[in-house]
Chains A and B, each alone.
Chain A
C-alpha cells in the first residue's frame, strides 16, 4: 500500500451532548465538537492536540464511526460511514481500529492475551482456524512481546506490555486506519518513548494510517506528518509539525508550545490566563478570546474562520491573519 490518496475525510463534524441539570432540569446543549474537518492520507499520521475537554477524543470516535455526528459526514475509503452497530459497520471494524489510553481497561481481564489478540480474527473470520495461532504469534512478535507471554492475563503484564498487546489486537486484521487516543499518557515516561518508536516501526511495516490524539505536542510531533490543534471543539491551527512547533501562529498554539519545558528557554513561558475552557459555556466570537493575550474587540464579536495563510498553514485567528491589530486581551476582566 503506497502512501498518498485520501483514506479518510471528515467534513464539518458536529457532536452535541445534552447535559441536564437534574431530572426535570433544562437540558443544556454542549457542543463537544463544533465543525471539525480533517483529511488523512494513506500511510500518514495526523496528530490532534488540545487540552482535555477540547473534543479531540470525541473527534477520534466520530472519525471511527463509534458515534454518529449530529452534522457533517465521515467517509472512509470513499464510502460513507455506516450506522454504528449495523452489520456493515461491524464489518468495517476490520479496516479501522482504536488504541486506548488505558490498556488495562481495554483488555478483558478474564482472558489470556493470545485469546484477545486472536479475537478480531475470530470475529471477522479471517484465515483458517489452524493458522490463527501462528498469526497471533507473529503479531505478538511484531509488537515486541514474546509468544509465550500470550498465555498471560492482562494484570500479569506491565503497562507498556499491555499497550503492546492492545496494539497487537488492533493490528490483527491489518487495518488501514488506527486511531490512537492518548496511547502513551497512562504509561511511565521511560516506556512512552518505546511505544512511540513501536508505533513508527509498525506504520513503516504495515503502512497503517494513524490519527494520533494527544495533549502532548512533543509526542504528536514525533509521530505525525501533520498536526491539528483543537480548542473548544474546533481546529484552530493545522500544519507541518516542525513548522507549527517552531513557529506557532495561533496564540493558543503559542501557549501550548511555550508550555513545553525547554532547557535553553527559561523565563519565556507564556502562562494562559483565565478559566479553563468550559464547553457548556462557550465564549462569544473566538472561543479563545477570554484567555488570549492579543485579543481585540473583534475577537469577542466574530468567530475567526480556519483558512490558509500564504505559506499554506491553516489558522483560525483574526490577529494572525492580520485582519486586526494585536490587542491587549481580555484577561483579568469580565469576559464579554
Chain B
C-alpha cells in the first residue's frame, strides 16, 4: 500500500492486537457478572446474617486482612452489622434496580421509537421533542427534581432510573424501523397485509434486538452509577433497605476509623460497572459496528 507508514499503522494494524487482548478481560467481566448474579439470586442462602442483624459486641470490627476474625469476614459497621451480609443484600438491591430500570428504559424507548416511525407526522415530532428535552437536562438533576416532588419509594426509583436512557433506544428503534420500512422486509410484510403488531413484534423487533441489547449493556453500568450516586446522597434507596451506593454513603462517616465499610461496596460498584462496560464494548465491536 502506498500510504504513509503512520496511516498504515493507524488503520490496519490495530484490530488483530486488540482482539487478542480483549477476551481475557471480557471473560473476567463475564465471570464477575455471573458471580454477582449468583450472589443476588442466592442472597438469602449465602448471607451469613440478616442485613439488619446487630452484633453489638463486635462493632467496627475489621475484616480478616486487617486483623479481624472469621465471625465477620469483611468486618462490621458502627452497629455491629455484618458487612459481608449487607454487601450481599446490597448487590441484590442494586442489580435488581439496575435490571428493572434498564428493561423499563428499553421498553419505553423502543415503543416510542416504533410509534414515531409508524405514525410519523405529529407523533414523531412529539417524540423527537421529548428526546430533545431529555437530552437537554443532566439526568441526575431531573431525577433529583422528581424525587423532591414525589418523595421516595423503590418503585418510583426504578421507574425514574428507567427513563435514564430511553431516548437512546427511541432514536435507535425509530431509525432502524424507518430503514426497515423504507425499502426492506418491513415494507414487504406490510404489503402482505400484516398488522402493525405483527410487523413490529414479529419482524422489526427481532431484527433490531442485537442492537438494542448492545445499547442495554452500555446503559446498564450508567444506571448502576446513577442509583449508587442517588443512594450515596441519601436520596435513592432508603434504610432499612440497603444498596451499594447507600453503603458507601453510610460508610463515609467512618472513613477514618473503619474504611472497609466504604471500600468493599465501592470496589464492587467499580468492578461491576467495569465488567459490564467491557462486555458492552466487546459486544458492540463484535455485533454492531454501527453504534458508537
Q: How far is the CA of A39 from the CA of B265 in the complex (A)?
A: 75
Choice from B184, B189, B191 contacting A66 with Cβ under 8 Å: B191
Q: In the complex the two chains form, is B193's CB within 8 Å of A120's CB?
A: yes
Give min CB distance, A97 to chain B, whole Å: 7
Q: How far is the CA of A166 from the CA of B185 in the complex (A)?
A: 11
Choice from B183, B195, B198, B207 contacting A109 with Cβ under 8 Å: B207
Number of A-B contacts (CB under 8 A): 53
Give min CB distance, B215 to chain A, whole Å: 18
Does B201 have its Cβ within 8 Å of any Cβ on chain A? no
**Taking A108-B207, A110-B207 as contacts, is the C-beta distance between A123 and B184 under 8 angstroms?**
no
Give min CB distance, B214 to chain A, whole Å: 16
**Taking A102-B183, A123-B198 as contacts, is the C-beta distance between A108 and B189 under 8 angstroms?**
yes
Binary flags per residue of B185-202, CB closer than 8 Å to A gives 1, else 0:
101111111111010000
Q: How far is the CA of A12 from the CA of B229 in the complex (A)?
A: 65
* Nearest B residue (CB) for A166: B188
Within 8 A of B (CB), among A115-129: 119-120, 123-124
Give min CB distance, A281 to chain B, whole Å: 24
Q: In the complex the two chains form, is B192's CB within 8 Å of A108's CB?
A: no
Q: In the complex the two chains form, is A98's CB within 8 Å of B193's CB?
A: no
Binary flags per residue of A79-112, CB closer than 8 Å to B gives 1, else 0:
0000001000011111001101010011111110
Does A223 have its Cβ within 8 Å of any Cβ on chain B? no
> Which residues of A lie under 8 Å from residue B191 when comparing CB positions?
64, 66, 93, 97-98
Give min CB distance, B240 to chain A, whole Å: 47
Q: How far is the CA of A84 from the CA of B193 in the complex (A)?
A: 10
**Taking A109-B207, A110-B207 as contacts, is the C-beta distance between A124 and B193 under 8 angstroms?**
yes
Does A31 have its Cβ within 8 Å of any Cβ on chain B? no
Q: How far is the CA of A93 from the CA of B190 in the complex (A)?
A: 9
Does B203 have its Cβ within 8 Å of any Cβ on chain A? yes
Give min CB distance, B206 to chain A, whole Å: 5
Give min CB distance, A136 to chain B, whole Å: 14
* Nearest B residue (CB) for A106: B188
**Taking A105-B185, A109-B185 as contacts, is the C-beta distance between A123 and B207 under 8 angstroms?**
no
Choice from B185, B193, B196, B206 contacting A123 with Cβ under 8 Å: B193
Does A169 have its Cβ within 8 Å of any Cβ on chain B? yes
Within 8 A of A (CB), among B154-168: none
Q: How far is the CA of A166 from the CA of B187 in the complex (A)?
A: 13
Q: How far is the CA of A262 from the CA of B265 in the complex (A)?
A: 80
* Nearest B residue (CB) for A95: B193
Ordered by A's residue number, 30 sampled pairs between the chains whose C-beta atoms are within 8 Å are A66-B187, A66-B191, A90-B193, A90-B194, A90-B195, A91-B193, A92-B193, A93-B192, A93-B193, A94-B193, A97-B191, A100-B183, A102-B183, A105-B184, A105-B185, A105-B188, A106-B184, A106-B188, A108-B185, A109-B185, A109-B207, A110-B206, A110-B207, A119-B189, A119-B192, A119-B194, A123-B193, A123-B194, A123-B198, A169-B192
Query: Which 5 pairs between the two chains have the least Cβ-Cβ distance?
Result: A93-B193, A106-B188, A90-B193, A108-B185, A105-B184
Contacts A85-B196, A109-B185, A120-B192 known; 11 new A-B pairs at CB < 8 A = A66-B190, A90-B193, A97-B192, A100-B183, A100-B188, A105-B185, A105-B188, A107-B188, A108-B185, A108-B203, A111-B203
A-to-B contact residues, CB < 8 Å: 64, 66, 85, 90-94, 97-98, 100, 102, 105-111, 119-120, 123-124, 166, 169
